[in-house]
Structure 1
Amino acid sequence: MLVFSMTLAACGGGGEEPAPQDDATQEEETEEEAAEETAGEPQYGGDLIYGQTGNPQLFNPLYSQDTASGDIEDLIFAGLMRTDENLNVVPHLGEPVEVSEDGLEHIYRIYEGVKWHDGEEVTADDVVFTFSIPLHDDYDGPRKSYFESLESVEKIDDYTVKFVLNKPDAAWPITAGWALLPEHILGDVPVAELGEHEFNRNPVGAGPFKFDEWVEGQYVRLVAHEDYFEGRPYLDSITVKITGDSNAQVLQLQTGDIQMGAFSSEEFSTVETFDHVNISQILRYAYNYFGFNFRNEFFQDLRVRQAIAHALDRQAIIDATLDGHGEVAHGPVSPLSWAWTDDLTVYEYDPEKAKALLAEAGWEPGSDGVLEKDGKKFEIEILYNEENIARRNTAVIMQEQLAEVGIKATPKSLEWGAFLDTINPPNYDFDTIILGWALGTDPNPIAIFHSREIEKGLNNISYVNEELDRLMEEAEVTLDEEERKEKLHEIFKILSEDLPYVFLNYPMDNVAYPKNLHGFTHHPRVPFYKAHEWWLEQ
């Protein structure tokens, strides 16, 4: 999946807008830099155990859609391009060499000598194969919209390919970095069978680590790719251990059952006391939200969505569930994005205004205090994934806050895999959800909110806004950055006002790692960024 696409986040912490770090953090970073300077030459060897709360579903970047799978895919797979820690698109397995004047033809060169994990060379055949899959009529994965502008992909020679677009696409340099799949392994598999193919449980990629073993619900073990084109990783292996939930993750960090892992901001003060780990905290390229299922007639009335936004004290939620490490969000754009704007519609906490809006929409209190309309009580479920303690606590607080305005909300949790099955096509079986998006590099939210994404894409809330569809399509083909930024700002403004979600917060990304680990670069979106450079001081 990589950072190029949006993924559903199984875990997530709090959030705050970028600001100068306080003295304590600056001092800690200075000490870490000093430690790097005195660590000496990188050493080969060592096995790193990394904790992750969510269970991966499969390993195929064209079919997975969650961070639990996608984060591990970043170790296994690689594409022509990647994003650096500043979210710039830079060369990886290849590089762009020519773009036509009209922007419709893009030629890329693949570096020679790049090897798949089985020793075969990565060639133009693999690029053509990978990018042809989402163009096929039988492709039923969730990523089709990312390739809407791609007309064809052609092999020029063994190390050169040409992408032909059917329209200008500002995001194409990002999409061109999609992780490659091996043609020599999957080339004869019918596209209709790829989503369920055994490869997705025993993958072969060209990334820095090779898949070794997956014991479902327990761990995924990866070993160093000896022929990785940027050099053999220093670590012998990385084992991603499935910890189950946020509390277990922190406990296992404390006991040493895992050596490294992300943790929620609500646990920050606890993890700070662990003397065997360093902590790195940066703004994550993501947001958390409370989403409405528009198949439920309750939420088709904007006044109801506005009332709920006014009924939720989002700052109180941040304070109670994230230990205050957070900034209230009002729209779908990250402060880290080049397209950031604060010109968004703000729904302040105002329970009385919420009650007035609900009354205006025809909802009146029943004998038990729960609102009623046309013989129906305003009773809903708040669905969240059970691994995420912050979301559980958020659901409980929301239950209390919504009760104050007459809405009976019942929290309900599911294991991550069951949660995804429940909310996604073809089920859409929920009233509301607490969830988060780990954002893609391109800030256009077309993959989440366009109506074409309802049946097979990422618009699992079934939201339809024709004006928004048009604007997102226009932004997709606008190549001038300033003109595109204006269109994106209009899009963000509409979404902040129309409330398909109540946007909750911009999360912080907190990572604990062993004090003898060197080479770690904290990326705002990719946990295993440049993991081939990580090494353990023996």
Structure 2
Amino acid sequence: MKLKKWLTFGTGALALALAAHSAQAQTRGGTLRMIVQPEPPIIVTALNQQAPTQYVAGKIYQSLLTYTHDLKPKPGLADSWDISDDGLTYTFHLHKGVTWHDGKPFTAGDVVFSLSDMLPKTHARARVILNKYVASVTAKDDLTVEIKLKSPFPAFMLMFEPGFAPMMPKHIYAGTDYMKNPANQHPIGTGPFMFKEWKRGEYIKLVRNPHYWKEGMPYLDELIFNVIPDSASRAVAFEQGTVDVLRGGDIDNVDVKRLRALPNVDYTTKGWEMFSPQAYLIFNERKPPFDNAKVRQAVMTALNRQMVINNIFFGLGKLSTGPFVHTEMFYDPNVPPIKFDMKEAKKLIEESGIDPGDYTIRMLGFPYGATWQRLDEYTRQTLTQLGFNVNLESTDAGGWASRTGNFDFDLTTSYAYQYGDPALGVERLYISANIVKGSPFANVQGYKNPELDKVWAQAASAVDPKERQSLYSQIQTTLVKDMANGYLVDMEFPTLYRSNIHNLVTTAIGLNESFDNVYIDK
């Protein structure tokens, strides 16, 4: 079978030479102080994919690739790769000399274990792709992995970033209860930083990996992720210089303009190209009243989403028109719009045949800061205007993930990453096969449409971009008509950081990167 080479640069000798040259030019040492909020329940990405987990764990765990800002693949743990002409065989050539933090060698066996055993059982997003499309994963030798697909899947090359497909150590996890493995409390990866300490409620500390596989890297001595529950206190910490970086969501959007204007502060919205986050409402569609599409339509028609963008997100975002954000591949701008009209919303409630006063909605609060608290309060107010009784229930990040993943709610708010191609980041939220307990980023609303499931499958496997566009346009129109989720805001996340910090945002996964080439001018 003829193979076409996708990449030839990044091979071992060249990569090491570039790293050595780069190391001479950078300043070594120092501590980078950040914020992780809310405090994650765990920092093992294979077991939890919430945003705070990915942020911290991206420095510990790595994947085969990373991506440029325009979503082109570049080397990670794989130096190069080949793809067969029929699009069914992918061969990855791994970097030689990589070791886990405990000194054991990283080999093709770890890749096979990760993609064939652990991730299909523990990772909500990866599970869908690996179970549906991957026929086999084989170690051809210690540094060569061959992956055969059941059918063509054009999005496949976009899944090998550390949040989606983290490589996990076979010698640590094979044959164990993944959720109860002691290594979950002391993560072991291949990344440039190693787990040092987690003082609950205060900070997570990572330290330099002295045996990192890129010679001379990382440049920093340690990373500290501070736990600061209050958004106002997080803004003060940055203003006073006790933290160096603010990630999107760390502070209230109202504070962004003021902090951005401080001396020696840089600002960027780059680094979210892979994620393209969307804020949305999740209706539990298994029971009344949200099993009724007209009720879901009524709620969305009653929400003044432009007001939400202007006054709650302070302009950082665009109005969602449907399940695909405007930066997503195959986005269709011609989907019928969701218009704000309270009179029409009340008419839809009448047409639904329900009496809102018969229901007390258990609304599960989204514990990711003041912006989300205000959005939840506004949503509750809107439901009350429609005649519903509403109990807004508070919880922490772990509690929200558990309750949402186990369908223990009537309504909640969330945001999800769309991962460049809808087959990777959007499909998982709507197909019947992904109505599974355990993850808040599956089809937790319980939306079922068998005919649309077939269209999703056709669109994911289609090779012709025009055919994919036609199929995905059909999907978008149907999901808006059914109001399978409540599409709110195509989000924009800012990053603020000290001007003496370099190489902080260099790829499409931004602050979830490894930080191996980040350095601080003294």
Give the alignment's TM-score, normalised by structure 1.
0.84
Match of 1:253 in 2: 238
Aligned-partner SS, 1:271: helix
- Provide the C-alpha distance between the structure 1 equivalents of 2:140 and 2:508, rounded to a whole number of angstroms: 36
Could you tell which deviates more after superposition, 70-79 or 433-442? 433-442
Among 325, 331, 335, which residue is 1:344 paired with? Answer: 335
Match of 1:300 in 2: 291
> Does structure 1 residue 430 correspond to structure 2 residue 406?
no
**Conservation of the 8 A alpha-carbon contact between 1:265 and 1:510:** no
Match of 1:270 in 2: 258
Among 53, 66, 77, which residue is 1:82 paired with? Answer: 66
**Conservation of the 8 A alpha-carbon contact between 1:74 and 1:528:** yes
Match of 1:535 in 2: 519
Match of 2:7 in 1: none
Q: CA deviation at 1:501?
A: 1.5
Aligned-partner SS, 2:510: coil
Amino acid at match of 1:338: M
Aligned-partner SS, 1:533: coil
- Provide the C-alpha distance between the structure 2 equivalents of 1:295 and 1:251, rounded to a whole number of angstroms: 44
Match of 2:486 in 1: 502
Cα gap change, 1:325/1:169 in structure 2, threshold over 3 Å: closer, same or farther?
A: closer
Match of 2:112 in 1: 128
Superposition pairs of residues 130-529 of structure 1, within 5 angstroms = 130-134=114-118, 139=121, 141-142=123-124, 143-148=126-131, 149-176=133-160, 178-187=165-174, 189-190=175-176, 193-231=177-215, 232-262=217-247, 263-282=251-270, 284=272, 285-364=276-355, 371-372=356-357, 377-425=358-406, 428-444=407-423, 445-456=426-437, 458-521=442-505, 525-529=509-513
Cα gap change, 1:217/1:522 in structure 2, threshold over 3 Å: closer, same or farther?
A: farther
Q: CA deviation at 1:283?
A: 8.4
CA deviations 1:298-344 (Å, max 9, x no partner) are 11111111111110000111222122333111222233233222122
**Conservation of the 8 A alpha-carbon contact between 1:313 and 1:401:** no
Could you tell which deviates more after superposition, 95-104 or 215-224? 95-104
- Provide the C-alpha distance between the structure 2 equivalents of 1:165 and 1:282, rounded to a whole number of angstroms: 33
- Provide the C-alpha distance between the structure 1 equivalents of 2:323 and 2:67, rounded to a whole number of angstroms: 20
**Conservation of the 8 A alpha-carbon contact between 2:154 and 2:461:** yes
Match of 1:36 in 2: none
- Provide the C-alpha distance between the structure 1 equivalents of 2:119 and 2:282, rounded to a whole number of angstroms: 30
Identical positions, percent? 24
Superposition pairs of residues 39-50 of structure 1, within 5 angstroms = 41-50=25-34
Amino acid at match of 2:243: I
**Conservation of the 8 A alpha-carbon contact between 2:82 and 2:91:** yes
- Provide the C-alpha distance between the structure 2 equivalents of 1:127 and 1:404, rounded to a whole number of angstroms: 53
Higher relative contact order (CA 8 A, sep 6+): 1
**Conservation of the 8 A alpha-carbon contact between 2:271 and 2:505:** no
* Structure 2: gaps (5+ residues): 1-23
Amino acid at match of 2:388: I
Cα gap change, 1:348/1:508 in structure 2, threshold over 3 Å: closer, same or farther?
A: same
Superposition pairs of residues 22-33 of structure 1, within 5 angstroms = none
Amino acid at match of 1:353: E
Superposition pairs of residues 7-22 of structure 1, within 5 angstroms = none
Aligned-partner SS, 1:185: helix
Match of 1:9 in 2: none
Aligned-partner SS, 1:62: coil
* Structure 1: gaps (5+ residues): 1-39, 365-370
- Provide the C-alpha distance between the structure 2 equivalents of 1:477 and 1:498, rounded to a whole number of angstroms: 24
Q: CA deviation at 1:390?
A: 0.7
Q: CA RMSD in A?
A: 2.3
Aligned-partner SS, 2:289: helix
CA deviations 1:353-383 (Å, max 9, x no partner) are 111111111245xxxxxx34xxxx2331332
Amino acid at match of 2:265: V
- Provide the C-alpha distance between the structure 1 equivalents of 2:507 and 2:258, rounded to a whole number of angstroms: 23
Cα gap change, 1:96/1:443 in structure 2, threshold over 3 Å: closer, same or farther?
A: farther
Could you tell which deviates more after superposition, 287-296 or 482-491? 482-491
**Conservation of the 8 A alpha-carbon contact between 1:52 and 1:249:** no
**Conservation of the 8 A alpha-carbon contact between 1:384 and 1:433:** yes
Amino acid at match of 2:412: I
**Conservation of the 8 A alpha-carbon contact between 1:384 and 1:435:** no
Cα gap change, 1:394/1:78 in structure 2, threshold over 3 Å: closer, same or farther?
A: same
Amino acid at match of 1:103: G
- Provide the C-alpha distance between the structure 2 equivalents of 1:395 and 1:81, rounded to a whole number of angstroms: 37
Aligned length: 482
Q: CA deviation at 1:67?
A: 1.0
